[in-house]
Chain A
Amino acid sequence: MRVQDTPVGVMQPASLAEPAEQDTIEALDLPILPIPPLLVTASGLYLWNTSVPLPAVASKLAPDDSGPTDQLDIVFPLTSERLCLDVDGRYPQMTASGTITRLLSQQTHWIAKLKPGPNPNQYLGSIWYKDGNVAAFPYTNVEILVTTSIFPGLRKAVAIFTGGGAVKRVRGYQYESPYFHPVQFEFDCTADAKPVFAIQTHAHPNRPASLPSETLTLQKVYQRAGFDVTTSPSPSIVPLAGAGANGKWSDQEMHDAMQVYWSKFANKAQWALWTFFAAQHEQGSSLGGIMFDDIGPNHRQGTAIFTNSFIAVPPAGDPNPAAWINRMVFWTAGHEMGHAFNLAHSWQKAMGVPWIPGLGNEPEARSFMNYPYNVAGGQTAFFSNFQFRFSDQELLFMRHAPARFVQMGNAAWFDHHGFEQARVLPEPSFKLEARVNRAEARFDFLEPITLDLKLTNTTSQPQLIEDKILEEIEHMTVIIKKDGKEARSFHPFANRCWQEKKRVLQPGQATYQSLFISAGRNGWDISEPGRYTVQLCLHLEAEDIVSPPLQLRISPPRSYEEEYLAQDLLTDEVGRILSFDGSRVLGTGLDTLNTLVERLPESRAALHAKVALASPLVREGKSLDMSRLPDGPLQSARDAQATLLVQRSDFGTGARLFKEALLAKPQLAAETLSHFDYHYYVDRFSDALEEQGRQDEAADAQSTLLQALQQRKVIQPVLESIRLRERELRGGN
């Protein structure tokens, strides 16, 4: 009989089992033992099902016993609910947790500690953790009644929620799986790596006496932790060229390799993980593995193990060096994969902001997440008592924490284990503001968003600042959060590196800059209709300056035309063109912007499009021609046969677009482009006009700029600089 290796250790009929090669308990060299009687357990995942009959105790409830969440469920029928019961089998945590999802996004999550009730298959507990829409879930206690059966289809559970001043709430659930979450693993490696996916647990003589003899796979480790593991077929060989000239892997190189070779790669949260075996990291042999993926917006999707490192160096005199190496590589893989589930090291549990308060460090834990060589007695003591498992604290997290904390690509690495908090002083030296300079922070659908940033010296002393402090976006964290969704960190298309130059900001004086935040390397962070919160943190040497949250609202589309155009407009290419004020090579994106101007000429989005289309037209520019690129890898720049082409201007078209965008409706232009950028674009247009010998028109543009910004109450020094520029242009005529 094939039996399933589940977190609860229960024997399941084969129809529910994983592929045989992964989940069969193999007797290996042991004699075939008689099959033990079926152990029927209650643990696993249950899903709300209205057809589950409620037992007698629950059926006595009157219809009006429905609580507030039930009433919501009637209003919002798109409700699903899951119950994770963890009371028996392998490593039981005597815990139940549940997630109620309404309208596909609004979630309430609860966790209760359980103890057996007076009746068989009855569990009672108090709810000690809530997350999400807790107002709709006032309950403090839960009673769970389980119907067990050897047939999964007959397994059911009923939960009765009470307390919190609310009337009882009763839910019936149908058994779904012995696992709490699904996860898919993909293992890839380089040709010079020596991956280990499984070990024989008795291969090394230093082991716990009680450790069963079996072939233990990485999949089995995580199945026992509560995950329904599937594995992508045969590993890919990742070419060594990906590691660059030195043959060692940097985090960025591995991240690139992950995007190319991982068949499941996507920039989104998913229960999937890429595990990469390579020879060595660029840090050298002291690094045995790393969860390298804290790059970009979706962390914890990739992890790596380095088999030409200290983990392949057994202690002198070890009785079975080959088994020691296998076990250490296997342990490292289990450890690094644990980081992808957002598990911290055993000694880091209490650091930062843990997912639940009061988590203690576990420096002596016999867990995948501890360092074997750092416990008392060193690695010998560790492995003599290591059962190839995670600690109870870690299992509680993986099985019962809100899924977004655990799921790969969701919460940022170490988020809810402990992120570094902003170093905000009681009396900050500066004030940072992000503004949109309009009466209501409401934007049209498709309207690109550019913020005006202002940094003010709030002390009574002059302060030295970097000249380009607001342009060096790598010194700034920009968080964008859409209501009901995870916060995302904004990553612009380019980071500029300026020569270090200081300047003085006098008391009360401010410096300004714009920030285009609609799109970046994450894609279009702000595009869908809805409410958003934007907050900035500027990291200075001695302190962090945090801006007040800025609430934005994106209106819904006003026409089918807008909806239709959005498909072409909200692309990486258009994002880049708008971010870099034009392009001479991104043809598809330019076509889209021309279409936008043609079809929605009066829209705010068209105004931005005109600026981006006009900018490269009013001057000659260079483009890199790589059309003669040969096949195969490039060995040198010469191989590319690239040449610089001079692209001629089309001043007439460019000037027309600039005039329409900047001068026809100057108030609208200043509002939608941001004060800072409106000033910048008019200056660029004036410069181009001046170069064409059209000083009068250049001066007129400055005059329009002055009037627009005067009406918008821009500070006097800025207005004075515009007056000066206009006078220069008039004088030059």
Chain B
Amino acid sequence: MQTLHIELQEGFHDDRVVARLNGVEVLSLDHVTTRMQTGFAGAGSTEADDGKAVLEISLPALGQQASTEINLIQATWAGVNVGPDKAIQFRISQAPFGYV
């Protein structure tokens, strides 16, 4: 088993955010707002089997969703950002994200 950390970063404004891993809901947060000082909006984590998995993020109120494939062979951090065009972008890292 590996830990997948999901960190919501830039571009959120009072949004409802739902994360699914391989179709199973693993995170649901309301009123997610990015704090502009740090670029951090919220986080959650889940345990998952080793191997490839599909992380899907949706913002139901905006009608936006996107997914990415992650190879879980160690603890992984998935940064989720919402671009100016409301498109969801992922940043995958094997090290924790830092915020200042």
Contacts and interface: CB of A to CB of B under 8 A. Distances in A.
Interface stretch (A39-47, A106-114, A284-292): A284-292
B11 to A, nearest CB: 9
Interface stretch (B21-29, B32-40, B46-54): B32-40
Interface residues of B, number: 15
Chain A residues touching B, range? 20 to 34
Interface stretch (A15-23, A331-339, A665-673, A674-682): A331-339
B14, B38, B39, B40 pick with most chain A CB within 10 angstroms? B38
Contact of B98 (A288, A347, A413, A420): A288
Given A290-B37, A345-B39, A413-B37, A335 B100 contact: yes
B13 A420 contact: yes
A712 B14 CA distance: 41
B96 A286 contact: yes
Contacts of B36: 344-345, 348, 351, 413-414, 418
Contacts of B96: 285-286, 310
A311 B40 contact: no
A576 B100 CA distance: 38
Contacts of A373: 98
A311 B97 CA distance: 11
B37 A339 contact: yes
B37 A287 contact: no
A467 interface: no
A283 interface: yes
A311 B37 contact: no
Interface string B65-100: 000000000000000000010000000000011111
Contacts of B14: 539
Nearest to B33: A420
Nearest to B77: A286
A286, A288, A310, A351 pick with most chain B CB within 10 angstroms? A286
A445 interface: no
Interface string A382-421: 0000000000000000000000000000000110001010
A371 interface: yes
B37 A310 contact: no
B39 A310 contact: no
A696 interface: no
A180 B79 CA distance: 40
A336 B37 CA distance: 8
Nearest to A420: B13
A290 B98 contact: no
A289 B100 contact: yes
A287 B99 contact: yes
A690 interface: no
B100 A311 contact: yes
A289 B97 CA distance: 13
Contact of A288 (B10, B13, B100): B100
Contact of B100 (A290, A344, A413, A539): A290
B23 to A, nearest CB: 27
Contacts of B98: 286-288, 309-311, 371, 373
Nearest to A373: B98
Contacts of A70: none
Contacts of A413: 36-37
Interface in A236-291: 283, 285-291
Contacts of A335: 100
Nearest to B97: A286
Contacts of B37: 290-292, 294, 339, 413
Contacts of B38: 287, 290
A315 to B, nearest CB: 9
A287 B40 CA distance: 9
Nearest to B96: A286
Nearest to B98: A310
B40 A336 contact: no
A287 to B, nearest CB: 5
A310 B13 CA distance: 27
Interface string A504-518: 000000000000000
Contacts of A542: 61
A226 to B, nearest CB: 23
A344 B38 CA distance: 10
Nearest to A294: B37
A271 B98 CA distance: 29
Nearest to B5: A286
A350 B36 CA distance: 13
Contacts of A290: 37-38, 99-100
Given A309-B98, A414-B36, 15 more contacts: A286-B97, A286-B98, A286-B99, A287-B98, A287-B99, A289-B100, A294-B37, A310-B98, A332-B100, A350-B84, A371-B98, A413-B36, A418-B36, A539-B14, A542-B61
25 contacts: A286-B40, A286-B97, A286-B98, A287-B38, A287-B40, A287-B99, A287-B100, A288-B98, A288-B99, A289-B100, A290-B38, A291-B37, A310-B96, A336-B100, A339-B37, A345-B36, A348-B10, A350-B84, A351-B36, A351-B84, A371-B98, A414-B36, A418-B36, A420-B13, A539-B14
Interface of B: 10, 13-14, 36-40, 61, 84, 96-100
Q: Which 5 A-B pairs have the closest CB atoms?
A: A310-B98, A288-B100, A289-B100, A291-B37, A414-B36
